[in-house]
């Protein structure tokens, strides 16, 4: 789908998300992301440890380290409902049309992960 019209996406390396939620277990991560972000997140495992794409309103303020993808970029979006692909799927499915994540919630989650990484031996 073309980005910048219905939504933008923040591309976050999996290790940042996993550090923030304290797990790489798919179910645990999905539940934590739903609790923190209250919106749709796509998981793509095709490269390395993979990536998460947090869907946000087009033009929403973002100053974090995650790469922002917007107008001029495209994102493969899985079908809502039954998972079809084993490598690209919803970590958190949208519950209703137009539901998106608040980038401030992602910033708070990633900040938590940075703190946990800093204090772990």
User: According to the model, what pLDDT value does residue 83 have?
Assistant: 82
Query: Residue 82: its pLDDT value, please?
Result: 83
CA distance 121 to 117: 8
Using a 10 angstrom Cβ sphere, with 0-12 exposed, 13-18 middle and 19 or more buried, the burial of residue 86 is: exposed
Average pLDDT of the chain, as a whole number: 90
pLDDT tens digits for range 23-79: 999 999 999 999 999 999 999 998 877 999 999 999 999 998 899 999 999 999 998
Phi first, then psi, for residue 48 (nearest 5°) are 45, -130
| Helices marked H in the chain | 14-21, 26-37, 103-119
């Amino acid at each position: 789908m073309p980005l910048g019209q219905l939504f933008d996406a923040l591309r976050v390396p999996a290790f940042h998300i996993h550090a923030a939620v304290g797990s790489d277990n798919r179910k645990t991560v999905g539940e934590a992301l739903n609790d923190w972000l209250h919106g749709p997140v796509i998981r793509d495992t095709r490269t390395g440890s993979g990536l998460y794409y947090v869907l946000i309103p087009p033009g929403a303020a973002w100053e974090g380290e995650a790469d922002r993808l917007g107008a001029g970029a495209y994102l493969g979006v899985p079908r809502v409902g039954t998972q079809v692909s084993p490598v690209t799927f919803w970590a958190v499915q949208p519950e209703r049309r137009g539901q998106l994540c608040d980038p401030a919630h992602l910033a708070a989650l990633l900040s938590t992960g940075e703190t946990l990484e800093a204090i772990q031996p």
